[in-house]
Amino acid sequence: MNIPADLRYTPEHEWVRIDGAVATIGVTDYAQGELGDIVFVELPAVNAATAQMESFGTIEAVKTVSELFAPLSGTIVEVNAKLGDRAELINQDPYGEGWLIKIKWSNKDEFKKLLAAEEYQKQIV
């Protein structure tokens, strides 16, 4: 199972990569494996607001639909348009081309609530 040490995680299986004021968000390798073949993703519009741990969309696999939860509050600055035609990128490359959204965030207290890789790994074993 792939759990990159440079990312932060939520108990709901989203990951966060921070680059200054922008956070890239996706679902973990563990989550995509549990979901199986992903066929559709519903993502918010650019400029929509997110709040930490509130739903921002859904991810649909062959057998189930799950909500996606925002790891941080902020404003959506980009969505991964490739997923509209190629949702399977989440299965193929969850930490790369399968990212979901990018948000402009600023609340450092929220970031501190996210799990480090070791903490996330303990949760899923």
The DSSP code sequence of 63-125 is S-EEEEE-SS-EEEEEE-GGGGT-TTHHHH-TTTTT--EEEE---HHHHHTSBPHHHHHHHH-
Segment 19-56, tens digit of pLDDT:
999 999 999 999 999 999 999 999 999 999 999 999 99
CATH number corresponding to 8-105: 2.40.50.100
pLDDT grade, residue 125 (50/70/90)? Answer: confident
pTM: 0.95
